[in-house]
Chains A and B, each alone.
Chain A
Amino acid sequence: AQTVTQSQPEMSVQEAETVTLSCTYDTSESNYYLFWYKQPPSRQMILVIRQEAYKQQNATENRFSVNFQKAAKSFSLKISDSQLGDTAMYFCAFMNPMEYGNKLVFGAGTILRVKS
């Protein structure tokens, strides 16, 4: 079974600084998808960024970028120029459509607090 591990339960960062959230996963497959979702107090899960395992290039979305290390099974999220609105719970998620269908397997989450 696939597992996703987020080793940092909580993190804090000063506004305008950079923070990196860690995620590791376990799979024997070579083709899969990885996601970072953000869940603010409003409860809605918002897709931050996604990465296809077959792509070597790290995904980037504005201030958000990932460091995808396939051999190490690591998928960290870097947030640059942190803003107060980035305060939220962040979830790393894995999907292997070929074997498990379109089911997201989530990590336990990391609470990120951005301080002014």
Chain B
Amino acid sequence: KAGVTQTPRYLIKTRGQQVTLSCSPISGHRSVSWYQQTPGQGLQFLFEYFSETQRNKGNFPGRFSGRQFSNSRSEMNVSTLELGDSALYLCASSWTGESDYGYTFGSGTRLTVV
């Protein structure tokens, strides 16, 4: 069974640009969550999508947005990139998002902003 797939694995962007990251959940999983991991702030929750609707949102500026498609694949977009957006972005999926089923994480996208 395929795991959670995140693309691309690595990305280098310039300040002011925008970027889109992709996450394909495990087949049948309907909940997708996104996390940002940095050495200074650790792991922080960005948002969660379930059945194409944003169900929960973390404390990030509006430059960070996401969406989920009918096949449960999710994309995360960051506009007007800043140096501080350099991070590992992790996606996690689960059946319904309920903790009983657990979360499976992808290997992340390493974003570097220069």
Min CB distance B34 to A, Å, is 11
Cβ of A47 under 8 Å from chain B: yes
- Interface size class, chain B: 20 to 34
Q: Which chain A residues border B33 with CB–CB below 8 Å? A: 102-104
Partner of A104, one of B35, B107, B110: B35
- Chain A residues positioned under 8 Å from B75 (CB to CB): none
Chain B residues in 8 Å Cβ range of A47: 102-104
Known contacts A45-B92, A91-B43; decide if A102 and B105 are in contact (CB<8 Å). Answer: no
Q: Are B108 and A97 within 8 A (Cβ)?
A: no
How many residues on chain A are close to B (CB under 8 Å)?
A: 23
Q: A102-B48, A103-B56 are in contact. List 16 more A-B contacts (CB 8 A).
A: A43-B90, A46-B105, A47-B104, A91-B43, A97-B98, A102-B31, A102-B56, A102-B94, A102-B97, A103-B58, A104-B33, A104-B43, A104-B92, A104-B103, A106-B42, A108-B42
Binding site for A on B (CB under 8 A): 3, 31, 33, 35, 42-43, 45, 48, 55-56, 58, 88, 90, 92, 94, 97-99, 102-108, 110
Which residues of A have CB within 8 Å of B43?
Answer: 91, 104, 106
Give the residues in chain B near A105, CB-CB below 8 Å.
45
Contact of B102 among A42, A43, A50, A108 (CB under 8 A): A50
**Which residues of A have CB within 8 Å of B104?**
47
Check A43–B99 contact: CB distance below 8 A.
Answer: no
**A101 CB within 8 Å of chain B:** yes
| A residues neighboring B (CB under 8 Å) | 33, 37, 42-47, 50, 52, 91, 95, 97, 100-109
